[in-house]
Amino acid sequence: MKVVSMLAQFSLFYASNAFACLPSTDPEQVVQAQLEAYNARNIDLFASCHSADIKIKNSQEGAPDIIGQESLIKAYQFLKTAPKSFKVILENRIVNGPVVVDYERLTRLGDGRDDMFAVTVYEVRNGKIVSVWFPPTK
């Protein structure tokens, strides 16, 4: 029930063209809201779920770290040109206090590419994502 309620709240915020993440201090709700904004390709709404000084550590080879909301917005511009069918599907989630760990499937990547799987670790404080870590896959 909690997820349905949160999704209904998000739908209201999104439908009203809101450019701010849900006003929630529940880490799971904040992470879910940013996932929904990502899949909706609403970069401003997605960014608003993150703190102004967000730190994103990407352990994949050659992937740069992202520091700050402005850098996050620049880095996620690719969503504007991603295939319309592209999305992230949540496969599993673990919540431990302010830490949310998602196992995600990136699907419909285009050009006949296979789905990719990723682990993402979020830390949420005061209703904003303050750090994200993408652990190495190899």
Distance between CA atoms of residues 98 and 8, nearest Å: 23
Read off the pLDDT of residues 27-77 as tens digits, 9 standing for 90 and up: 999 999 999 999 999 999 999 999 999 999 998 878 889 999 999 999 999
Residues 6+ apart with CB under 8 A from 27: 95, 97, 98, 99, 100, 122, 124
Distance between CA atoms of residues 47 and 105, nearest Å: 21
CATH number (domain holding residue 129): 3.10.450.50
- What DSSP element (H or E) covers 116? strand 116-125
Q: Count how many domains the chain has.
A: 1
Read off the pLDDT of residues 101-137 as tens digits, 9 standing for 90 and up: 999 998 876 677 778 899 999 999 999 999 999 998 7
Average pLDDT, the chain: 84
**Token pair for 111:** 């050009």
State the pLDDT at residue 61: 78
**3-class secondary-structure state, position 29:** helix
| Contact (CB, 8 A) for 103 and 93 | yes
Domain enclosing residue 90, as ranges: 2-134
